[in-house]
Amino acid sequence: MSQLPIRRALISVFDKTGVVAFAGSLVKEFQIEIISTGGTALLLKENAIPVTLVEEVTGFGEMMDGRVKTLHPHIHAGLLADRSNPDHMRQMKEQGIEPIDMVVVNLYPFSHTIAQPDCTFDQAIEMIDIGGPTMLRAAAKNHKHVLTVCHASWYDRVLLAMQAGDDAIQSLRRSSALAVFQQTAAYDRVVSQWLRSELRAQDHLDLSTDATDVPDVPQWLPIIDKPLRYGENPHQFAHLLLHVNDERAVDLTVGDEGLDSAKAMSFNNYVDASAAVDLCEELHRGFDGRPACVFVKHTNACGCCVDNDPVEAYRKAYVGDPQAAMGGILACNFNIEADFATAVMETYDRLGKAAGAGGFFVEVWSAAAFSPQALSIIRERKKWGANVRLLQLSRFEESPHSHEMDLKKIAGGALLQQRDTLGLNESKWTVATKRKPTEQALADLRLAWLICKHTKSNAITICNDGMLIGNGAGQMSRVMSCRIAAWLAKENGHGERLSGAVAASDAFFPFSDGPEILADAGVGSIIQPGGSKRDSDTINFCNIRNIAMLFTGTRHFKH
């Protein structure tokens, strides 16, 4: 038996996932009295769980459409009373107030509300939670005596701790208090940033000189949406963080399956899918919406093509590197119809066997939309289709915002920078060599430059005929990246395509040794930022080998 027994729990949740089973266990297994409000109380009663309404505790009914219901001394004294302080307990007894030992509350989904395109100012205001954060903060402050539960993912953890006894409960009190203050702090940041943005837009205010001198909070600040099964590896925990006003992906598969479902998105799924979508969006903008298909493995493109025919774009993307495409991430910038779905589901039979691939499946597939017929084919045609995570995105037409931020993790902290949103700034490009690229080569140079931008540094990207044929990624030496890109092209049967191919480098060549490797492989045009002290050596080499070379004046390191 716990030294601080939990006898009364206040449960008031917006997201009611799992709350019936949790409350039922509290009552049946631990004989806990449940206090509840509104829709939560109704749901529990409908499931035969005994409930005491908040108004029975306070003696005061809900008012103002539910805005005022738990803001009452009989609730907050019950939460804040220090059980070890005799004077606190005396005052409670004199007022007829009973302690509340557990608070189960999750907040109004403000971030989700403001992400809706048709959300009005008044609707957003109504979704600012007041009572929920107030109760959570009160209970978390008094966590020595009150256990807080601020997310449905904690239900099983709480029940296990209660079964284990004192030490487990005490440890959980502290960790749950921390979770509360993290969540409410993030929640307030979301609200304040939204309101700041709205006031600036509506009233044309320069809030940077506001008399309150409150610093402008950048829009990258997140709220915790849900936990993931684990992080990059099974021994690491992880959460999904959603950006303010940026819930742009609709997951068609996760739904209510839960964290253990085969279709639940993992940490690595999200990272790789984001990389694939970012490149696909860039190609959509850079090539005027022509069909683009991208295969990504460990955040780097292993297959990519832009073509007028979606199926042909897919074929060329896949044959770019069939071995790497297996188990990868697929992104398409168009609606998926039945014929395209069939082509993808039959990839191994139609293309993979002939290319020597050992098999084929896709972990995540993102696209502008999936037709009902396409969904049926995907789910039924092949075994792997039943579990592929499908992401529907509608942001391909949007241009990136210069204010978007990029957060990089480091040990013990993080680094913040402006996101690299610069695309094909061709007005700054110059031809550095005597030879100029042909129109076909220039189109391939555009493709190679965008793929290279989205490849881990040091990066060398080789393309021909609108498709990626070799990508050298993440090497310590740029020369090695050149060798890998050329080797991959040959290894995947694109040796003939190397003749007249183009290559992109995300940063300048410090020497002419990299271009020499590319030239020896057959590359006829190169695009790079320029800016090396030895640019003249590289230019002279390209002139001798009759290679066209463009300088962009822009570097695209990606660490």
Kindly report the CA angle at 117 between 116 and 123, in degrees rounded to 5?
Answer: 60
Handedness of CA 316, 320, 325, 326 (dihedral sign): positive
Helix (H, G, I), strand (E, B) or coil at 149: strand
Q: Of these residues, 16, 45, 76, 141, which one is catalytic?
A: 141
Q: Helix or strand or coil: residue 306?
A: strand
- Closest by alpha carbon to 107, among 222, 20, 240, 13? 13
Could you check whether the bond before residue 458 is cis, i.e. omega within 30 degrees of 0? Answer: yes
Q: Does 74 participate in catalysis according to the annotation?
A: no
List the catalytic residue out of 72, 76, 239, 298.
298
List Cβ<8 Å contacts ≥24 apart for 436-439. Answer: 436/548, 437/502, 437/525, 437/548, 437/550
Closest CA relative to residue 510, chosen from 463, 471, 555, 546: 555
Distance CA 248, CA 541 (A): 47
Can 298 be counted among the known catalytic residues? yes
DSSP string, 75-90: HHHHHH--TT-HHHHH
**Angstrom distance (rounded) from CA 202 to CA 224:** 28
Element (H, E) at 178: helix 166-203
**Interacting residues of 457 by C-beta distance below 8 A, sequence separation 6+:** 474, 506, 507, 557, 558, 559
Give which of 180, 74, 197 is closest to 134, Cα–Cα.
180
The full length of the chain comes to 559
What residue type is 235 in one-letter code?
A: H
| Residue 460 phi, psi (nearest 5) | -130, 125
Is residue 355 within 8 Å of 321, Cβ to Cβ?
A: no
- In angstroms, the CA 198 to CA 117 distance is 14
- The C-alpha atoms of residue 111 and residue 224 are separated, in whole angstroms, by 10
Beta strands at 249-251 and 389-393: parallel, antiparallel or unpaired:
antiparallel
Q: At what angle do helices 338-345 and 310-320 cross, to 10 degrees?
A: 20
Q: Tell me the CA distances in angstroms from 385 to 328, 333, 354, 362, one per residue in order.
A: 13, 20, 22, 8
For residues 153, 155, 159 and 161, what is the CA-based torsion angle, rounded to 10 degrees?
50
Report, as residue numbers or ranges, the catalytic residues. 141, 298
